Structure 1
């Protein structure tokens, strides 16, 4: 069994690798070539948290896995990850656990890469300005995926905690300096999304975090944070203005996300407004962006096939390069 920590993974697996892994995962999922039960969610109400168990199996890749991930928003005040996790990768030919990976970092990678995949596939090619709303544990890889997918000149970043936002911007400006993108602090979400070509929301908010009327024509929105029916980052106005609405998994989104469930319930949108799954765009079965004026929304809640494919790609590279600890 191979043990792989965050540094091991960072040394061998890039954000571009993660984006390509997610693209493959979405295609496999949409083509029905995986077994991905809906995740089990056990609430830890006392601590306003949730513990999630996410299994998956991919016969074509001879692998399976399960991620155990918790979402405890108050961890940010303790200096701990908001989404601590562990991934167990299984050899699909024997059923044995072949690797244990730092699931917190795998989650950050594959979740950021989901936005990166959506931007890569759906955003305008000439996108120059980005907006990121939220600076929690998932924000670093969301930002990296955004600038990996498009050559952006600047990204405006907003969070309710201005001091945390300033610290985040300074840290990211140094860590991601090789992208030559300028990161700026936005004082409001309206300022962040003003004229933005790509927008990522990654919060646990229970009410919309930006004004959907202010989204420019041609923008691509990746909504990441709403993983429960009570959470709703997206302004329904953005959905009604959108030309297309894509999911990574229609089943998962309609089981979990208030971003979509609440507007469906109040009649702001209907299921006829849904365009399909990103995997079908990637495989060429349906069209993505057709012109530069379309507002396109991608809603993701995360599915286990992302973790399994990403973990398998990381494991294969680690074995090839002799990285990790045998146990």
Structure 2
């Protein structure tokens, strides 16, 4: 038998943001309906190198999709000329367990995370959102904005980063897919007076203060994906409707992990999972004055659902290389 190898370039040629949103929304719906198997991420920590390695398996019964992603997060890689996040995804046959494809998962990871933010905002943000604030001007800032641009008519984008050069670079890239005005700053407060705020940093201390957030704001908290990380003032969570992607993962590694461990919030302060909202088990936003927060840790079901879409498109296009396996 053979397996299909898809490089990062093959994956990029096989995946649009619109398609990613469709795949991830279906995955969230399956999770909400209880038709997925997804153990929590397992971590190997490399304290010496300020990094970690994670394995993320999942099975989506309704989509007949199963596989595993192996992904690293090494913040210091930027100085090594390498991406902070690199990944591989293996797709398997649910029927036989045989691997059907191995593909680069770095671009896929960025896209599916951007898609998750767009889906969360679709259900949790106000319907007439026009302004977006980005805290962090890295690769994830770009795909978060790409996803939101698929759902809303964005007119103004505010970007804050410690590096104005990164802000300018993101602005230049974003003009290829969004027609909006841009404002850039090194001061986070400058970008918080918006309809949708997105945080994508690896911070281990709160960056966004409670008194900067107005009523009606939706926040996609993306950066906290390991124990000890947090980007938001816990007081924001106290007055917000908090929706997580997965209860177990968020509790030990999401935006809520530190406030929970310190007793600032309780498990009962978590409103629902995004899957429950997408599956219509619980309502999303109820009124325009609610502050809503989506705590995204990144789920294996997102990777596997998106990888299946990539695989099918690549086969249709004749992309990739067939490699002998057995």
What's the offset of the Cα at 1:82?
0.5
- Residues 58 and 64 in structure 1, CA contact (< 8 A), matched pair in contact too: yes
Tell me if 1:68 matches 2:67: no
Q: 2: CA distance between counterparts of 1:62 and 1:130? A: 36
- Residues 213 and 237 in structure 1, CA contact (< 8 A), matched pair in contact too: no
Q: 1: CA distance between counterparts of 2:183 and 2:150? A: 17
- Residues 83 and 137 in structure 1, CA contact (< 8 A), matched pair in contact too: no
What's the offset of the Cα at 1:320?
2.5
Q: Which residue of 2 aligns with 1:162?
A: 164
Aligned residues: 321
What's the offset of the Cα at 1:207?
0.8
Q: 2: CA distance between counterparts of 1:62 and 1:128? A: 37
Residue correspondence of structure 1 range 17-36 to structure 2 within 5 A: 17-36=19-38
Residue from 221, 229, 232 that aligns with 1:231: 229
Q: Which residue of 1 aligns with 2:192?
A: 193
Residue correspondence of structure 1 range 91-170 to structure 2 within 5 A: 91-170=93-172
Q: Which residue of 1 aligns with 2:253?
A: 256
Q: 1: CA distance between counterparts of 2:124 and 2:18? A: 16
Unaligned runs of 5+ in 2: none
Q: Which residue of 1 aligns with 2:179?
A: 180
Q: Which residue of 2 aligns with 1:206?
A: 204
Provide the secondary structure at the position in 1 that maps to 2:13: helix
Which structure is higher in strand share?
Answer: 2
CA displacement 1:15-65 (0-9 Å, x = unmatched): 111112111111212322111111110011111000111111223333311
What's the offset of the Cα at 1:136?
2.5
Q: Which residue of 1 aligns with 2:310?
A: 314
What's the offset of the Cα at 1:96?
1.3
Unaligned runs of 5+ in 1: none
Provide the secondary structure at the position in 1 that maps to 2:207: coil
Provide the secondary structure at the position in 2 that maps to 1:268: coil
What's the offset of the Cα at 1:78?
2.4
What's the offset of the Cα at 1:251?
1.4
Residue from 75, 86, 89 that aligns with 1:87: 89
CA displacement 1:257-291 (0-9 Å, x = unmatched): 2x212222333322222111111111111010111
Q: 2: CA distance between counterparts of 1:256 and 1:57? A: 22
Alpha-carbon distance change, 148 to 86 in structure 1, aligned in 2, over 3 angstroms = same
Q: 1: CA distance between counterparts of 2:107 and 2:257? A: 29
Q: 2: CA distance between counterparts of 1:118 and 1:55? A: 22
Residue from 250, 275, 278 that aligns with 1:279: 275
- Residues 11 and 310 in structure 2, CA contact (< 8 A), matched pair in contact too: yes
- Residues 155 and 181 in structure 2, CA contact (< 8 A), matched pair in contact too: yes
Alpha-carbon distance change, 183 to 94 in structure 1, aligned in 2, over 3 angstroms = farther
What's the offset of the Cα at 1:160?
1.4
What's the offset of the Cα at 1:135?
2.0
- Residues 87 and 102 in structure 1, CA contact (< 8 A), matched pair in contact too: yes
Q: 1: CA distance between counterparts of 2:26 and 2:61? A: 14
Tell me if 1:56 matches 2:58: yes
Tell me if 1:245 matches 2:242: yes
What's the offset of the Cα at 1:76?
1.4
What's the offset of the Cα at 1:171?
2.8
